[in-house]
């Protein structure tokens, strides 16, 4: 199995000095290609911090992070931007869509930063929106859509990027159970299509559908197991 994410002895310390917070404490973690990982843990345990690290939104205070074998722990802001654009698709709890843009325009955004021309962008965005069942909502703005639909736009945006890694931080945290099911279905499909999917969740029901479950507490990895209940479906 090829290594995609390799985290070595990473610490993340907020407010170093007086009342410092060790959000990540000597974490070691390796994730390969085409894995389906759930990260669970209590509130404040460091899940989001870990995800930001994996997603190159943040750099570690100490330790090393290799993505595709490349050391990304000391990259400049712009280099990190480029890596995020090429390698990472984010799905956030709060959807993170730009309110003034339509579904299409939101999906095209990362492609603009990649320098892809209008025509190809339109094509990719359309394919992505179709694949999450939103062909009829292309020209709607986020405030004209339900939470589940908004989250599907966010997923379509990640799909259009075609990144090797999909990072989902509480993707269903703001959704009702039927929308949640739909989102999880799409996420699982993306895994089956060959991507590595990392889902952070409070919901043990969701975690149980992942192939590998990592539990963290107080910034440390407590357990890292292959899910015995995992079912291909």
Ligand X SMILES: Nc1ncnc2c1ncn2[C@@H]1O[C@H](COP(=O)(O)OP(=O)(O)OP(=O)(O)O)[C@@H](O)[C@H]1O
Among other proteins, Mg ion, ligand X, none, the one that 112 touches (CB under a kind-dependent 5 to 8 A) is other proteins
DSSP 8-state code for residue 171: T
Site string for other proteins, 55-74 (x = CB under 8 A): x-xx----------------
Q: Are 153 and 142 in contact (CB under 8 A)?
A: yes
**From CA 55, how far away is CA 33, in angstroms rounded?**
15
**172 near ligand X, judged by CB under 6 A:** no
**178 near ligand X, judged by CB under 6 A:** no
> Among 23, 29, 39, 52, which residue interacts with other proteins (rule: CB under 8 A)?
52
Alpha carbon dihedral 230, 69, 91, 77, in 10-degree steps, equals 160
**48 near Mg ion, judged by CB under 5 A:** yes
Other Cβ atoms closer than 10 A to 39: 28
Nearer to Mg ion, 10 or 145 (CB): 10
CB under 8 A: which stretch of 104-112, 130-138, 173-181, 205-213 binds other proteins? 104-112
Among Mg ion, ligand X, other proteins, none, the one that 77 touches (CB under a kind-dependent 5 to 8 A) is other proteins
**92 near other proteins, judged by CB under 8 A:** yes
Place of tokens 């870990």: 50
206-219 burial: b if 16+ Cβ within 10 Å, else e: bbebbbbbbbbeeb
Q: Of residues 164-223, which lie at the interface with other proteins (CB under 8 A)?
A: none
Nearer to Mg ion, 49 or 131 (CB): 49
**From CA 44, how far away is CA 219, in angstroms rounded?**
8
Residue 25 Cα distances to 49, 91, 94, angstroms: 11, 25, 27
Residues within the interface to other proteins (CB under 8 A): 52, 55, 57-58, 77-78, 81-82, 84-86, 90, 92, 96-101, 109-110, 112-115, 117-118, 157, 161
Contacts with Mg ion, residue ranges (CB under 5 A): 48
């Amino acid at each position: 199995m090829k290594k995609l994410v390799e985290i070595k002895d990473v610490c993340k310390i907020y407010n170093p000095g007086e009342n410092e917070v060790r959000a990540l404490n000597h974490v070691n973690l390796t994730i390969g290609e085409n894995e389906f990982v759930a990260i669970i843990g209590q509130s404040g345990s460091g899940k989001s911090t870990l995800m930001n690290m994996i997603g190159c939104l943040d750099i570690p205070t100490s330790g090393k992070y290799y993505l595709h074998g490349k050391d990304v722990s000391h990259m400049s802001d712009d280099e990190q931007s480029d890596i995020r654009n090429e390698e990472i698709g984010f799905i956030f709890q709060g959807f993170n869509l730009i309110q003034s843009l339509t579904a299409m325009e939101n999906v095209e955004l990362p492609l603009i930063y990649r320098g892809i021309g209008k025509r190809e962008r339109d094509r990719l965005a359309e394919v992505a929106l179709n694949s999450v069942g939103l062909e009829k909502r292309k020209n709607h703005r986020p405030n004209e859509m339900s939470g589940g639909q908004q989250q599907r736009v966010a997923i379509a945006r990640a799909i259009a990027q075609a990144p090797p890694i999909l990072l989902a931080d509480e993707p269903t945290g703001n959704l009702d159970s039927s929308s949640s099911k739909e989102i999880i279905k799409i996420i699982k499909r993306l895994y089956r299509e060959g991507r590595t999917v990392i889902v952070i969740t409070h919901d043990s029901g969701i975690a149980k559908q992942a192939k590998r479950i990592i539990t963290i507490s107080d910034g440390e990895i407590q357990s890292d197991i292959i899910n015995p209940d995992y079912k291909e479906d």
